Structures are given as structure tokens and as C-alpha cells.
Structure 1
Amino acid sequence: MTITADGRPYALLPESERWRADAMIAAAITRLTRIRLLVLDRADVLVGAERDRLLWWLDDLAASGEIDTALVFMSLKAPPSGLPDAIQSYWVTNQQVSNLREAA
């Protein structure tokens, strides 16, 4: 099996593009196995609009019933805002977890 993006080999892709390819492969495995759980780490390699696209893509997967839960881990300088209603986010600071919707 060969993984490519726009005809380019996986090994030649920038880190962000490799991460997105990995996320799509994980989503495909989730769909094929019917586990309905998607776990994505290091989402902080995405910047700007790519982070927004990720969250709205996950929202679409949940709305269509393809996933029940997505666990996405990333390091951020500030808590996210403007998230889709279906997304619950948590902020970890000094080993303390807080629910962002309850804090708002």
C-alpha cells in the first residue's frame, strides 16, 4: 500500500499534511471497524484555519453518526473559542482540568 497526497509520497509531505493524512486514515479505520471512537494526538501541528477545519470536520462526522466520540489532544496558548455546539473542550493547567463551557 502506498499513501500519497496529490500524487506526492507520504514521506515527502509537510508535517501538517502528514498529520491530516493520518487523521483521515484513523477515521477510515474507525468507520470500517464501527468503533465510533476517533483519537487524534498532536493536533497542534495544525495552524489557523486548519484547526477550524478539523473541528468542523469532527462535528460533521458526529452529526452524520460516523463517530460518537473524538478525543483530540493539542497544546494551545489560550483556550479555544467559537467551537461547534457539539464539541466539549477541556483546558488543563497545572494538572487541573476545567470545562470551558462551564467556565464561560
Structure 2
Amino acid sequence: MLYDKDIREPLFDFLDDIYLTNRIIEEKKMGCSRADVVMVTPLAIYGIEIKSDADTYARLKRQVRDYDNFYDYNYVVVGTSHAYHIQEHVPDYWGIITVEQKKQ
């Protein structure tokens, strides 16, 4: 089972590899929600919601609305337990990043 704390550092490494020049802000209040991660690049501001295997979708509808109001682009980052159903809970224009534990 992947928890939020297990996802963050590998996610930041991945984003650094993809976006090269960026700044990361964690736990940023926006509207009635809190963005897990805000990534600022020279061209856009990205909101990133992390749904670990321990999370539910209970607040996601409100979070999607707030993210859409505040950021140019949005991603949801999910653990394995959400990988097959997350597309039913976020708009088509959101990016989806799936995370799995590496088998030892």
C-alpha cells in the first residue's frame, strides 16, 4: 500500500526530469480545498492532487472545481488501488500519473 509520504519524493524527481525548470510548493490553500502540490514552470502553473491507496474520493469533486479555478493545468497522482477508476472521477483534460511500488 502506498501512502502520500511514499509518493511525494519520487513524484518530485519525476517532475524534475520531465519539466526541468520548476518550483514546487506543497500544501497550498486554494478556495475551500488544499492543493497537495503546486508546480510552477516558466509556461504554466500546475495543480497536483495526490490520491494514495489510503485515500477516498469523498472530497474530490470539490477539489476538482477548486483546482480548475486556480491552476492552468492539473494532474492527479494515484496509487495502484485507484489506477483503474480515477478517470471516472476527474475531467478528461486532467493528467493522470499512476504510481506503483517497486518489487524488491
- TM-score computed with the length of structure 2 as normaliser: 0.36
Return the structure number with greater relative CO, CA threshold 8 A, min gap 6: 2
1 or 2, which has the higher strand percentage? 2
Of the two, which has the highest radius of gyration? Answer: 1
1 or 2, which has the higher helix percentage? 1
- TM-score computed with the length of structure 1 as normaliser: 0.36
